[in-house]
Amino acid sequence: MGALQSLSDEPEYRELAEKTGFSFEQIGILNKRFKQLSHNEDTLRRADLDTIPDLACNPIRTQIIEAFFDKRNFHQNGDGTVEEISFEEFLVVMSHFRPPALNMTEEQREKVRREKLRFLFNMHDTDNDGTITLEEYRHVVEELLSRSGALGKETAKGIADAAMLEVASISMGHMEPDEFYEGITFEHFLKILKDIEIETRMNIRFLNMDTTTLCK
């Protein structure tokens, strides 16, 4: 209790709690993990996340790591990437994986859902042009399928192309034979995932922590 009280007395921790929704206890736990990963440095680098065993075999490992260094995910109006992140930036990115609080209003829950979907969208919109192109989508699907060893690159490419056409039909409706589908916009992304309860399913376990428990 004394430790928690001392944390609540820290203005920085109070500000982080308000910004991310984490409790003081959760912030303390995440701070310890941050220090472990950064080797007690004040900033975290890609190489620090690259050494996590649970992440090594994840087929979208690169996208997950890059998400931590993408300015779009820091709750700021920025773009581009950074080479290292502070604990606050780490915490803000981790908050995207936090389940919604049980006492949230529908309006608050919808805001959380939209933020989570924007985070996922940013992971796949790698060139930050506002659309997930066929090439970006294909790359993700190829990685997911070919890493299993059951499918070759060409087969994975064919599945990715077919999936993209399906997405286009959902997003755009009927398309003429000569019509070109430029890619998935964020609004299309929302439409595609409208029936998926992403608020509770989006969690992370590769930091030796289970974020499904990080809910007040």
Co-location of 107 and 198 in the same domain: yes
Residues 6 or more apart in contact with residue 178 via CB below 8 angstroms: none
- Kindly indicate the confidence band of residue 44, based on its pLDDT and cuts at 50, 70 and 90: very high
Residues 6 or more apart in contact with residue 25 via CB below 8 angstroms: 4, 7
**Considering the domain boundaries, does residue 85 fall inside one?**
yes
What CATH number is given to the structural domain containing 175? 1.10.238.10
pTM here? 0.74
Choose the final residue of a domain: 96, 122, 143.
96
Could you give the C-alpha distances from 140 to 145, 147, 163, 174, in angstroms and in order? 9, 11, 12, 25
Co-location of 144 and 83 in the same domain: no
CA 53 to chain centre: 19
Mean pLDDT over 177-201 rounds to: 72
Co-location of 48 and 116 in the same domain: no
Residue 141: domain span? 103-202
Q: Per-residue pLDDT for 89 more than 80?
A: yes
Is residue 160 within 8 Å of 136, Cβ to Cβ?
Answer: no
Report the chain's mean pLDDT, rounded to a whole number: 78
What pLDDT is recorded for position 193? 75
Residues 6 or more apart in contact with residue 82 via CB below 8 angstroms: 69, 71, 89
Co-location of 108 and 198 in the same domain: yes
- pLDDT tens string 92-133: 999 988 887 788 888 988 888 888 889 988 988 888 888 888
Mean pLDDT over 57-69 rounds to: 85
- pLDDT tens string 164-174: 677 666 656 55
Choose the final residue of a domain: 96, 114, 139.
96
Co-location of 69 and 145 in the same domain: no
Distance CA 135, CA 147 (A): 18
Helix (H) / strand (E) containing 44:
strand 44-45
Co-location of 84 and 117 in the same domain: no
